[in-house]
Structure 1
Amino acid sequence: MADDIVVTEGLVIPEAELHERFSRSSGPGGQGVNTADSRVELSFDLGRAQSVPEHLRPRLLARLRSRLVDGVLTVTASEFRSQLANRRAARERLAELLLAAAQPPPPRRRPTRPSRASVERRLAAKRRRAETKRGRRSPEE
């Protein structure tokens, strides 16, 4: 439970369903840049994960479809020099992505008609604007 990712009360991702890969980070780093595998790639198989509730799975898959490769969501972190900090950052990023995707859809907008007064104001403004432009024309037209 220590390394599990808590997204919401109903969605906790166990450590066993996460796959981490480590590689060398790009950018400056001095002598340690060629030896430290500090970049972290955290993968989560959203399509087959047992921890994702069935009522949430279609919503998550639909909202994250542009980031998925064969149902697997991958997050990378390489902004820190230490592997531990990058692991923490990748887990936080994964949790934020899943939390945003798990939000319920906003309520549907009820269509409304513009009020009579707002229609009148809009048409009056159009008439004023047309009159201004008509005043700018040359007399030959």
Structure 2
Amino acid sequence: MADFAVSPEKNRWLKERMALLGVKEEDLEERFIHASGKGGQHVNKSSSCVYLKHLPTGIEVKCMEDRSQSLNRFLARRYLLEKMEEAAGVPSKKSAKEEKLRRQKARRKRRSSTKYAAAAAESEGGTGEEA
């Protein structure tokens, strides 16, 4: 596997993670496509978008976050590994974050409904005076 335009620690981490999940470079189909979005003339002239497909599982990712093809190659592999972990049922940081937000929203909704239910009951009861 080639080293990408990231720190040596990140390259080492990626290699270890791929080995842990049993992903080999030979199992990956990699294509380069013209990206879209920010980046101006550089993005329009070069194929910096990376399309990556894991052939045994059929999982696909496309990465065009950066203008650098090398950095996009690294990020695409990282996203692919995250998707593979999700498919295997391993909880990821992203899913943990989403679960935390879901619980926060539910808690806020419960608090809000009890607060406004109490206020509505109080206003319906009134003071007993008719005008």
TM interval, shorter chain, is 0.5 to 0.7
1:86 matches 2:67: no
Which residue identity does 2:60 align to in structure 1? T
Alignment partner of 1:23 out of 33, 48, 68: 33
Partner of 1:6: 17
Uncovered stretches (5+) of structure 1, i.e. residues with no partner: 50-70, 106-128
Q: Once the two structures are aligned, what percentage of the paired residues are identical?
A: 38
Alignment partner of 1:40 out of 31, 36, 50: 50
Partner of 1:66: none
TM-score by length of 2: 0.54
Q: Is the 8 A contact 1:40 1:78 kept in 2?
A: yes
Between Structure 1 and Structure 2, the one with more helix by share is 2
1:135 matches 2:106: no
Between Structure 1 and Structure 2, the one with more strand by share is 1
Distance 1:34 1:14, change over 3 A: same
* Count of residue pairs brought into register by the alignment: 93
Q: Is the 8 A contact 1:22 1:37 kept in 2?
A: yes
Uncovered stretches (5+) of structure 2, i.e. residues with no partner: 4-14, 92-117
Query: Which whole-Å deviations, capped at 9, do the CAs of 1:79-115 have from their partners, x for residues lacking one?
Result: 111111001000000111112332369xxxxxxxxxx
